[in-house]
Amino acid sequence: MTDAYFSNATVELLTASPPPQVSPELEQLAAFLAFAGPSSVGVVEPCDGVAGEICTVAGNGVADFTGDNVAATQTTISRPIELALTDWNGDRVVDLAIADWNNFRIRLVYLDVTTNGVEDAIVSLAGTGRITGADALDHPTDLAFAADGALLIAGWHHPNVYRYARGLANGADREQIAGLCDTNCDSDGSTRVDDTFLSLPVSIASHPDGRIFLAEAGCSRIRVLTVAGQRSVSSPMTCLFDINVFADTTIETLAGSSGVNGYAGDGGEASAAIFDIDNSYITPNFGIALSQDGDSPGEALFVADSRNHVVRRIDLSVNPPTIDRYVGIPETSGFVDGPADVALFNFPTGVYADTDGAVYVADTGNQAVRRIDQVGRVTTIAGTGIAGFNGDNRPATQARLNNPNGVVVHPDGRIFIADTNNNRIRVINP
């Protein structure tokens, strides 16, 4: 029997037959058609709900902000980059939170309920649409929810970490629990957070024990925050306004070497690991996710080592923590499904660890979402390898995505995707 694998964004049988040759002119035409039709702008097809098919649950393809308190498919979002699930208002219904990157906001969709007469209404939790002033966010790249329901935000161009108490309305009092409003990679080791700068904090994860894990893209390292002390008001010279801080909070480096890119460390202590991360101000990458399965969630941290084209796993259950390659071949890009030591990725950016032990990857360079099962086998679950938009209500593996960056899995099995450059949130029906 011949096995089928994904390779170079097409499905090929592993036989002796050579792949067909495609002219540059046809490649250019295919790239044009990926964007030209069917149009993704302003069009949302009603979701048929067929198992395995994909449809849109937020945004309509237009990069804009046209307001809140309407159905999520009747408004616009702009480069949504990450997602998280929560029960924000305590009604025991799961809500979908969105890092609406170019709108400088965190948005929330009240899934499966009617709010003030609107089904699946969308609201803003944080951010004002401006990059200066009170409650401003400048390209929030990731979000997480702590055990107490508090919203945590990784600020990108404002290199800070923010916290909002659960249920607070947008514009309510926020806490700045890390970062001093300026960029620097000098601080390392374990130090007080009020003496510590950050550089492009890009991904954030909340541990059940209260620790906050933070991927710092500008310095190619992963940090751990332990929040402590009484809240106080600080006026650092590098910030334009007073901030609420917990001065006894400590920050330490878990993995990565400050400002050093490469590949090293597998099989050893995480502190000796080296990642290869895009340190630019325009390409968020380097996603992290804590494990959720088993009796002790949070025992592992999964890392999208983006320019090394692999996903790595840090074992937090041992002291000191250790690191290993989880899937992919270091420094080798491609589009291949299969066992962990065969599968290939292309600039993975976002990761999500589900409660059943599976790990989902936004494989951005391959325009796909991949699933890693409990034994490490990789399967493509959405995307064709070609960037674009070709409509909804079709099998997810036949649907085109455009730079997907985030993925989360609902308890009922729905898989939500931040289809970033299509300015939509898509869902795969279970």
Distance, CA of 392 to CA of 371 (rounded, Å): 21
- DSSP per residue over 225-282, as a string? EE--S-EEEE--TTSSS-EEEETT-EEEEEE--TT--S-B-TTEEGGG-B-----SSS
Using an 8 Å Cβ cutoff, are 100 and 80 in contact?
yes
Dihedral Cα 117, 118, 119, 121, nearest 10 deg: -140
What pLDDT sits at residue 36? 37
Distance, CA of 342 to CA of 161 (rounded, Å): 37
What pLDDT sits at residue 272? 96
This prediction has a pTM of 0.88
How far apart, in Å, are the Cα atoms of 329 and each of 80, 138, 332?
29, 34, 6
What pLDDT sits at residue 5? 30
The position carrying tokens 């000796």 is 272
Distance, CA of 115 to CA of 70 (rounded, Å): 9
What pLDDT sits at residue 72? 97
Distance, CA of 362 to CA of 368 (rounded, Å): 6
Query: Per-residue pLDDT for the chain (430 aa), expressed as one digit of tens each?
Result: 333 333 333 332 223 333 344 444 444 444 433 433 444 578 899 999 999 999 999 999 999 999 999 999 999 999 999 999 999 988 899 999 999 999 999 999 999 999 999 999 999 999 999 998 878 899 999 999 999 999 999 988 878 888 888 876 665 668 878 766 656 676 655 565 556 678 889 999 999 999 999 999 999 999 999 887 766 666 665 565 666 667 677 888 999 988 799 999 999 999 999 999 999 888 899 999 999 998 889 999 999 999 999 999 999 999 999 999 999 999 999 999 999 999 999 999 999 999 999 999 999 999 999 999 999 999 999 999 999 999 999 999 999 999 999 999 999 999 999 999 999 999 999 9
Helix (H) or strand (E) holding 324: strand 322-327
What pLDDT sits at residue 24? 46
